Structure 1
């Protein structure tokens, strides 16, 4: 016989020895063991992560698993990586943007023979 959730919660909450359990707490407790069935997948993710020296993020791990024939959503991989506390190393530094091109071509001095030297102010 299957009991309803209301009956279960009322029974638990009627006992003073047991802590109070709300409906939302009950559903939250149902999700606690959610990722225990993914142990095999979590082990493979950890192997790939360590094999590539912590440089593979969830995107690359997802692609590698798909190449191996494991069909899994990238969001699940991301969630499992977060649960396992795996942090990706980012060793590449971005080059600072510089628009300076250097000296291209020949710099010609005083091409028109202009004279910018004056003896007194306001002559030129």
Structure 2
């Protein structure tokens, strides 16, 4: 029983510290304009992240990967998540901008689980 309670305490503490994925807010939209990304692509990318990625991976720290690795990761994972090319691109745009925005703000994004 003690082990179970310890496990649940650790699990609960870990879950409580996981922030939600960054919203598509004005700062992200401003960065999108600078990089030529459509606002609708960001909204769609965030929705895809929440519905297709977090089911298996949970919220991951997007800054744990070099931004140059994301295209390779996306090429590998998009078919497994059932994403077509426009969805894949929208998701990558969201992930890249969310990462860049948090890096500029000095924050880490979500948790470090892979």
Q: What is the TM-score normalised by the length of structure 2?
A: 0.29
Query: Which one has a larger percent helix, Structure 1 or Structure 2?
Result: 2
**Structure of greater Rg:** 1
